[in-house]
Amino acid sequence: MICIKKNLFFDDSFKVQLLSDSIKLSNDKKMIKYIIPLFQNSCIEWKLSKCQSKLEGFSILLNGKLEYFEMEQNHLELLKQFLDGKIFYMSIHKIYKTVLFCGRGTYGHVFKYQNCLTGEYVACKSLKIGFKNTQEIFLEEVKILQTLKHPNIVKIKEFYMETKHFYIIMEYLDGKSLGDLLNQKILDDQEIIVILKQILRCIIYIHKAGYVYRDIKQENILFGEFGNLQTLRLIDFGLAIHQSDLQKQRKLICGTAGYIAPEVFKLESQIDQKIDIFGVGVLLWEMINNSRFIEGQDQEEKYRLNREYVFQNEFTQNIRNPIFRYLVEKMIVDNPEQRISAADALSYLDWAGIQSCDFMKDYENISTE
């Protein structure tokens, strides 16, 4: 690929090489070489045509100065595809327009955007610059989404930096949240299994990668397609953290009231990936009973009840399915040493499915409708 740098009298052409860790622009005649590392602090701005229908060029920050290059449109599209989700972009509203406000995430607002070039709908999470540790929080979430690639984890597409906001562009999910689904219908055992298996596979992957999610809840479970339970996605990694950093943040109580593992409130105790399993157990109980596990008149009371939580047998005595009862008891036990792992929970679910003919059904066509 070739790009052109416009000068006052003569234009310079540069060969573009896409490498695993950088982009290299080189002009052998003038012995000029630019290397743009694929780091989070590298940035590029795309230039669009006046009608915003196609790419015309790009500007890259080189030696503290934006340098502009032109390129054939098909090569620009290939370059952008290569760079998407790897480095900062600038001027988000040149490429995207706001469609609607979707809601609030852990550290920001979420919007539905439309790409002016392709017409594609995406989800956009915005974080306002100026709050304490905003950039650190933003970059950590971007890093985690770049690292974790799994069918049940929302996919990052691009990320932008403006003067007042950071933006993360992700795939837009057409389906409902698990919370919306539970408000509309009572799930049967087969549907619960389909959802639970996807959540467990996702958590196993996250844990094997060395991370802890820390915010399991109904609102963070979405479905990619309306009417298809097999398209589950875990969203909002604003509280996710590498396991090696868990103890460094031990003074912080992270999570959503009603889903926080009891050991998190005991600041003198060690915590690990088992805190996610407690949240999964709460979700499972809620799917079975179609109600909230920990309820309160307001967030303060809910937080207090969560902090004072101690497992009691009465929590599971009305669960008819013995397989679900066993899993819930093993997940929401207040002693993390007695809590089952995600891998063991999935293995048990698979084993139980082989043992029971009720679990030998085809779940492919299970619907959220």
> Looking at the annotation, which residues are catalytic?
215
Distance of alpha carbon 168 from alpha carbon 142, whole angstroms: 7
Q: Locate 357 and state its tokens.
A: 């003919």
Nearest 10 degrees: Cα torsion 124, 130, 132, 138 = 30
Distance of alpha carbon 115 from alpha carbon 79, whole angstroms: 17
φ, ψ of residue 278 in degrees (nearest 5): -60, -45
Sign of CA dihedral 253, 296, 292, 178: negative
φ, ψ of residue 14 in degrees (nearest 5): -130, 135
Helix H or strand E encompassing 172 = none
Distance of alpha carbon 115 from alpha carbon 77, whole angstroms: 14
Say if residues 143 and 40 touch (Cβ distance below 8 Å). yes
